[in-house]
Structure 1
Amino acid sequence: MARDLGGLSDLHENLQSISELAEICLNLGYQHCCKAMVSRHGVARRTTGEPVDLLIVGMGKLGGGELNASSDIDLIYLLPDEGQSDGRPDDHPDGPGGALDLQTYFTRLGRRLAGLLGESTADGLVFRVDLRLRPHGDSGPVVCSFDMLENYLVRYGREWERYAWIKARLVNQAVLSEQDQFEKDARLLETIRRPFVFRRYLDFNALAALRDLHGQIREEAQRRSQRREARMAGDYEMVDVKLGPGGIREIEFIGQLFQLIRGGRDPALQSRVCLEVLKLLRDQARISEQEYLELCAAYEFWRRLEHRLQYEEDAQTHVLSGSAKAYLKMAQAMGLDSAEALYLNIEAHRSHVIPIFERLFRKEAPGLEKIASETKEIDDLGESAPKSETPTARANDADSRLERLRMRIKAIVKEHTDAQRLERGLNELVDGLRRRSSYLALFDEYPETLERVAKVMATSSWAASYMQRHPIVLDELLDRRGLDEAGDLDRLAGQLHASLEDAQLHGEPDVERQMDILRETHHGQLFRLLVQDLDGLLSVEHLSDRLSGLADVMIDATLRSAWKATPRRHRQDPQFAVIAYGKLGGKELGYASDLDLIFLHNDADDMAQEVYARLAKRINVWLSTNTAAGSLFEIDLRLRPNGNAGLLVTDLPGFIDYQKKHAWIWEHQALTRARFCAGDAAIGQAFEQARIQILRQPRQAQALQEEILAMRRRMHDGHPNPSGEFDLKHDRAGMVDVEFMVQALVLEYSHAHAELTGNLGNIALLTMAGRLGLIEPEKAEKVAEAYRRFRRHQHRLRLAGASSARVAPDAFEVDRQAVGDLWQDVFDKAPDVIRSLSEIRGKAS
């Protein structure tokens, strides 16, 4: 108290110190009670004969390490197993006997402990103890077995209890049992608590439950305020710092809303500390930086004021009287110079918190009646339990929600041109979610989300299909601000790594869960980019850059996790790298592009080839397997040395030797767009140096051009187009022709112009070739623009759901002419007759 009032400690120290003091007192009391019980009834033992301890769970502020100066401590007593105590020995002064079953044994101990801490004496009390948060409240047993707790939570657990169990934490230490067994019991308790509080799916039903709970608490606070008004009214407003508008409870509810909705998917959100949760929400862009700072400032202000009220009253009070005298006294305790200054601070913090709270908890359902939810009598939830509950008609059952959603769909589609198609698509989406009540709750609780879905669906058939395949992405439409922000890939990588690390099953990596985390993360991020794309916020080039960067993050995370799950690893960090080719290598990835990858290692260990082959197979499976959460990518590994006949993983020296001595020209063409994307950076650097050396080898122009043209003919023959339309990608004078021209220029001239080896993209390389005088600059610019227009139109066709990128036969005539003209210039040294690849290679060998 002295350090707090003297300004020598911050809020964290104050809360932590009081909480640690409570745990010390509780554990000393528990030790004393155990000693007394052992003296009279012997050691408590399981049916197996092993000693056993009571598990004491701290709830509320004790569980979160956030106790006030005058807080109650909310406790739940749990018993991990059945059994009985030893009883008294034959030579005990009271005689033999005294054996008790464990329920009776620990009930007596628990009551004694509560009295020891909470009963008033001439010296006061230690901490008031409240046991009413246990299953069935006052009517339930004082000590609850694990089996009873699990059965209760599964069958009868209510939403307010999920909220209460967020902060639940084991607060006692082993006295009777061995430490290993005590820790095992603690882990078993977590397997009961976590699934009850944090659902494996995104639980949007939690919003309605928390809103109802907040409404009930607010009503109770108003009733109390009316009762106090006569004795506490004054020149200023009477303020409830805990339950009033913009107060402590509303700030806590903001964090707990996200915890209950997303905590099962994001283990980092399972923190018991309010400020830690707010920081994570800021980092995830769930709240803005400004909102984070305002919420933290308000929380610290309210908690400091709460402490000073309790120092003054020496009681568990949260209400500031409205008298000028009370305001002035608290202002001075807070370091302010006047009652008016305190009032202005209170109003400022309220004005910051209330809009954030209302934005997150609002319900927009114009014209639709809300049926009353379950009525509860609330007595300061979190420190005592509701005393009664009466189920009544609910508005959030599936049928009611479906009916409301269909009404909204009819209203929404009227604003769109193709109303029938859109209504059909929205109804198909909603019908597909009938068994996923949480997503129905999402649309019901956040009506604007359904409007955003309609906008996306009306704009892109491909996006509509994507939402139906991956409904988890609907969550991304909740907050418009997050959709408009550019994603921070470094932050995403850190969060993804933490989530994958937390995915454990019995102390080992939970591979199935990790694969789902990768997919859910990728789907959500891809959908954000899709919405930005549809809103016109991204060019095709910027979109491809971000999709490629996202793929790099997913590959790197997969490599790290797959390595930890690989048996018989011979080193901590693998000397292994993933090299991207094709669209990913050139950073021209689309929404549904395949990934062309090869795997390299640079490890002389005898086990290296075998271990890295297992790792490569695992990576391929992790990336390409279709799980309950969908799939990540289609993977193509055929660009490795010797194709499908070659080793899955190649050692770096062997790869370089192959490229220099045995590779076909088309393999060097592919190398122009290859880059390191994940794994050992040293291998990546060595690969890049070798790539540049290989590309800069002098080549005989005629032979080079003939082989490139032979490869182009093979590709063209492999993509016949009998439709009569122009295929933007595969037909002559299309996108592939542009790419082949760029590759030909790189391979022919990079020995003299090292800058051509840069992985800069086709448009930049065309412009560079024009600037270097290798082709006419004006022709280069025309073809660059043609390529940009081809890509843009191909992209629009794919978003519209087209299966191919074909247009009318007379479309893009000017662009096609420009490509054809430059083609003649680039390949002017080719022989008149182009042999097949097999003929060329046969003669060369």
Structure 2
Amino acid sequence: METVGELTERLAPALAASRYLARELAARDWLAPLLCTSLDAPLSADAMRRFLEREAPDEATLKPALRRLRTWVMCHTAARDLLGLAPLSEVTETMTRLAEVAINHAHEILHEALWARHGEPRDADGNAMRLTVVGMGKLGGRELNVSSDIDLIFVYPEDGDTVSPRPLSHYEFFTRLGRQIIAAIGEVTEDGFVFRVDMRLRPNGDSGPLVSSFEALEHYFITQGREWERFAWIKARPLCGSGHDALAAIARPFVFRKYLDFGAINALRALHAQIRAQVARREMATNIKLGPGGIREIEFTAQVFQIIRGGRDIGLQIKPTLPVLEALADRGVLDFDAVALLEEAYVFLRRMEHRLQYLDDAQTHDLPATPDDRARIATAMGYASEAEMLAQLEIHRRFVSHCFQAACGDPNQDDHALDELWDATITPEHAVARFESLQFRNATAAADRLLQLREGTRYRQLPETIRARFDGLIPRIIEACAARPNPDETLSRLFTLLETISRRGAYLALLLQYPQTLLRLAELASASQWAAEYLTTHPILLDELLDARELDAAPDWPAFAQHLRSELDAVEPDIERQMDLMREQHHAQVFRILHQDLAGKWEVEAIGDHLSALADVVLEETLRQCWRKLRQRHIETPRFAVIGYGKLGGKELGYASDLDIIFLYDDEDQSASENYARLAQRMLTWLSSRTSAGILFETDTRLRPNGESGLLVTSLEAFRQYQEGAAWLWEHQALTRARFVAGDAAVGRAFEAEREEILRRPRDLDKLAEDVIAMRRKMLDNHASRDGYFNIKDDPGGLIDFEFIIQYLVLGHAHAHPRLVANLGNIALARIAGELGLLDEARAKAAADAYRSLRRQQHRFRLNGHTARVPEGSAQAERDAITTLWIEVFKRNA
């Protein structure tokens, strides 16, 4: 072990940078020998606890021992930091441990002394209660600096009285204890202090009670909690006491909203403005914490996104600043390169903060006034000169300010050129003229719609703060609509959306804060009425418009399935939240596909593939969640499968398609049928129930054996017997577009084998053709158009004709050509039939191209809320191609 003399020589660089360290070593002869034994390693919490157990066994020795501990820890930390032995993380963790150990030790000793005099506080069940000391700010985030205040809040589980000859109410007991802890930690004695204690973050600040019960705290949050307090409570962390889980359940919904809370940006912006005003008033421009580009702006940049998104993303409900920034980068909220530079700036500023405080153990964040002290700081920071250090400081501060402004700045400070249109004094004639100048086709209708919006009850009843956002948004919406090729329709659709979300200030704040989001919204509404209606129904999806990279990323369904599962597991067993989460995740994926669709990224077949793959994931996870929630389960993994028919089975699902499904099982347990019926019913309820987040899918199970009169779930053997002996032709046609989509893979394989056996059964081609034609004629009698329009789906030469051709070929020829059994979609099967010589290849290709073209037209009609009908003759080439193929296939039976 080194001697005190060797230690002093070794500490020379640190002593040059810290007058505080030099003073303490000179004044306390016990300190140097202690540092000799500890300097080569970080100080652990156990080492600090052992020190206090030895030095402070009782109330009488508590204060001096705590202050000696602080001296040792501070000097140890300063020496290791200034000698380059300790990274920033060690410094902040060591100071945090000091606060935790000191508070816990003081709490235990003082609680026992108070308990001995007045009895133990106990809850209604007789369990002993402790004061819960909540660390806020940097203490809560485990980021404490070396000369920091500690922000504390005192709470306790419930009111009552102690049982004693000298009883106290729980409120009085814990108030006394709280005052004693503050004195033990913060009172200045001849030995100094441990930490300055700040209690102003408690409910009602300095004017509020020192301690609060959980019930009082919850009431305060609901009735009086202010926006800035939500930011403060992000980092709240219980350090000791009881009822931590109950406290978290109270604080979490106050801090983190279930929806995306973009309104928090305004609150943070106002808080930041107050800090800026204070900085300017006190001439604190060189303050590296509160000044421009300082530590606080980095913290605010992280916290604003936690507040906005933390309610929906539990992974953001964390406390330390750097991990939050990294989590935001992982989620694409912040750019990875920007986060790397923010982290570099944060480490630089925190290291400088500590060196400013090492000088004299002063709670300062200002650069020193004297050249000599600034030179000390530069040397301690590793720079050759003050100028070099200040140049690097300026680079960091400029970048931090840029990031903060991008995240939290107000992009709408200037007046808008179209503000006059929303002015109540504008005349109708002037409004019409202004809309005409913006190239609206029906300027009068646009002006009337605007007037109705301004004079409407909904707008007049808006709270003042929300109305201000609404007012700022209107001219920007008009401008965005005017830039679209169909401004009238776009304006109508966006005004409908705006009326729906008008009372949700967070959505208005989102559109104001991110102008590019408003432009994407206008583009989407212009392209598709269905898209606008989807957003109006699910406005939470507005957040999806924020990140173009995420919107444009190709779906990764295995990754999505894994993400969805982890999200649902994280909130188990909260069924309501799980159902909402699944709906929110599903809607977000549909919306991304829709956005890419409107951008022309996908062919109509690919859209069907993606929407069907998404449905498969949802069904798989629904099955898992519903099974785990059944109280009576005879088996751990259900031998149960979901079979998709129709558009789901053929991977041609549309945006608003129902799911045609049946349920099969292969399980001989006597309770299997009952349990699986209960599972199927729960799945249908899970899928189709309307929650606050909407629904997942409407479902149709009528394709099960015996239809609506049949059992909801069917054993594999019963399904096989029905298909082989009782199924109608149309049920075998439906089987051509059936597939296993979720559940037990072995049951799925058994179904696929049975499906192949049925489809490959030899059939009389003439009889099959007669039956298919008869069925098609019956459909035409019920659905064919008779008004001079061509229904793309139902009329002769339309989609159903082509689908019937493929179904006939599969049923008629799969026994000789197994390739036709594959569920590859109608277009691919037409190509295969041509290759097999069952169709003329040229006519098969022409009909398949026509089918694709008609599906595209049908898709476009649906995206704009129209029935897929066109004037006779406008799709004649497509009709002719499909009709020609129909004649070729069925000519002998026509």
The TM tier, using the shorter chain, reads 0.7 to 0.9
Counterpart for residue 617 of structure 1: 681
Counterpart for residue 593 of structure 1: 657
C-alpha separation in 1, matches of 2:759 and 2:85: 66
Deviation of 1:360 (Å)? 2.4
C-alpha separation in 2, matches of 1:723 and 1:364: 54
Q: What does 1:798-817 align with in structure 2 at a 5 Å threshold?
A: 798-802=862-866, 804-817=867-880
Q: In 2, are the aligned partners of 1:47 and 1:82 still within 8 Å (CA)? A: no
Deviation of 1:820 (Å)? 1.6
Q: In 1, are the aligned partners of 2:160 and 2:169 still within 8 Å (CA)? A: yes
Q: What does 1:374-773 align with in structure 2 at a 5 Å threshold?
A: 397-416=465-484, 418-503=486-571, 509-773=573-837
Counterpart for residue 362 of structure 1: 409
Task: Tell me how large the CA RMSD over aligned residues is.
Answer: 3.3
Matched residue type, 1:105: F
Counterpart for residue 120 of structure 2: 43
C-alpha separation in 1, matches of 2:393 and 2:717: 69
Among candidates 32, 39, 53, match of residue 130 of structure 2: 53
Q: In 2, are the aligned partners of 1:246 and 1:351 still within 8 Å (CA)? A: yes
Alpha carbons of structure 1 residues 48 and 747: separation in structure 2 relative to 1, 3 Å: closer
Post-superposition Cα deviations, 1:574-605, rounded to whole Å, max 9, x if no partner, equal 33222222212222111111111112223333
Matched residue type, 2:537: R
C-alpha separation in 2, matches of 1:246 and 1:652: 68
Residue 209, structure 1, aligned to residue 277, structure 2: no
C-alpha separation in 2, matches of 1:591 and 1:778: 32
Q: In 2, are the aligned partners of 1:44 and 1:85 still within 8 Å (CA)? A: yes
Residue 63, structure 1, aligned to residue 126, structure 2: no
SS of the aligned residue for 1:606 comes to: coil
Post-superposition Cα deviations, 1:339-397, rounded to whole Å, max 9, x if no partner, equal 7876676566556554443332232226439xxxxxxxxxxxxxxxxxxxxxxxx9961
C-alpha separation in 2, matches of 1:640 and 1:11: 65
Alpha carbons of structure 1 residues 582 and 33: separation in structure 2 relative to 1, 3 Å: same
Deviation of 1:643 (Å)? 1.8
C-alpha separation in 1, matches of 2:295 and 2:823: 54
Q: What does 1:102-181 align with in structure 2 at a 5 Å threshold?
A: 102-120=170-188, 124-173=192-241
Q: In 2, are the aligned partners of 1:268 and 1:499 still within 8 Å (CA)? A: no
Q: In 2, are the aligned partners of 1:581 and 1:673 still within 8 Å (CA)? A: yes
Counterpart for residue 102 of structure 2: 25
Post-superposition Cα deviations, 1:189-208, rounded to whole Å, max 9, x if no partner, equal 23321222122333222111
C-alpha separation in 2, matches of 1:151 and 1:166: 18
Question: Identity over aligned residues, as a percent?
Answer: 49
Residue 821, structure 1, aligned to residue 893, structure 2: no
Post-superposition Cα deviations, 1:169-194, rounded to whole Å, max 9, x if no partner, equal 22204xxxxxxxx4xx3333233212
Matched residue type, 1:260: I
Deviation of 1:617 (Å)? 0.8
Counterpart for residue 321 of structure 2: 274
SS of the aligned residue for 2:642 comes to: strand
TM-score of the two chains, using structure 2 as the length reference: 0.79
C-alpha separation in 1, matches of 2:806 and 2:525: 37
Post-superposition Cα deviations, 1:587-639, rounded to whole Å, max 9, x if no partner, equal 21111111111122233332221111111111111211223322221111112
Q: In 1, are the aligned partners of 2:133 and 2:155 still within 8 Å (CA)? A: yes
Counterpart for residue 843 of structure 2: 779
Matched residue type, 2:259: Y
C-alpha separation in 1, matches of 2:626 and 2:365: 52
Post-superposition Cα deviations, 1:308-331, rounded to whole Å, max 9, x if no partner, equal 555566454445569998788667
Matched residue type, 1:53: R
C-alpha separation in 1, matches of 2:890 and 2:360: 91
C-alpha separation in 2, matches of 1:350 and 1:690: 69
C-alpha separation in 2, matches of 1:324 and 1:665: 95
Deviation of 1:749 (Å)? 3.4
Deviation of 1:260 (Å)? 1.8
Identify which range, 63-72 or 23-32, moves more after superposition: 63-72
Alpha carbons of structure 1 residues 186 and 540: separation in structure 2 relative to 1, 3 Å: same
Deviation of 1:168 (Å)? 1.4
Matched residue type, 1:790: L
Q: In 2, are the aligned partners of 1:729 and 1:805 still within 8 Å (CA)? A: yes
C-alpha separation in 2, matches of 1:399 and 1:563: 47
Q: In 2, are the aligned partners of 1:368 and 1:404 still within 8 Å (CA)? A: no
Alpha carbons of structure 1 residues 331 and 619: separation in structure 2 relative to 1, 3 Å: farther
C-alpha separation in 2, matches of 1:330 and 1:679: 65
Alpha carbons of structure 1 residues 683 and 344: separation in structure 2 relative to 1, 3 Å: farther
Q: What does 1:62-101 align with in structure 2 at a 5 Å threshold?
A: 62-87=139-164, 97-101=165-169
Post-superposition Cα deviations, 1:687-746, rounded to whole Å, max 9, x if no partner, equal 334434443344443343333333333433342323331111111221112222223333
Q: In 2, are the aligned partners of 1:396 and 1:441 still within 8 Å (CA)? A: no
Alpha carbons of structure 1 residues 368 and 758: separation in structure 2 relative to 1, 3 Å: same
Alpha carbons of structure 1 residues 101 and 767: separation in structure 2 relative to 1, 3 Å: same
Aligned length: 772
Q: In 2, are the aligned partners of 1:246 and 1:354 still within 8 Å (CA)? A: yes
SS of the aligned residue for 2:161 comes to: strand
Alpha carbons of structure 1 residues 673 and 113: separation in structure 2 relative to 1, 3 Å: same
State which structure, 1 or 2, has the greater radius of gyration over its C-alpha atoms. 2
C-alpha separation in 2, matches of 1:264 and 1:73: 27
Post-superposition Cα deviations, 1:393-452, rounded to whole Å, max 9, x if no partner, equal x99613333333333344444334544444343333322333333333333433443343
C-alpha separation in 2, matches of 1:554 and 1:8: 52
Post-superposition Cα deviations, 1:497-520, rounded to whole Å, max 9, x if no partner, equal 34333446xxxx333333222222
Among candidates 198, 201, 210, match of residue 256 of structure 2: 198
Q: In 2, are the aligned partners of 1:365 and 1:447 still within 8 Å (CA)? A: no
Residue 187, structure 1, aligned to residue 245, structure 2: yes
C-alpha separation in 2, matches of 1:22 and 1:790: 71
Counterpart for residue 378 of structure 1: none
TM-score of the two chains, using structure 1 as the length reference: 0.83
Matched residue type, 2:774: A
Counterpart for residue 391 of structure 1: none
Alpha carbons of structure 1 residues 575 and 400: separation in structure 2 relative to 1, 3 Å: same
C-alpha separation in 1, matches of 2:149 and 2:769: 84
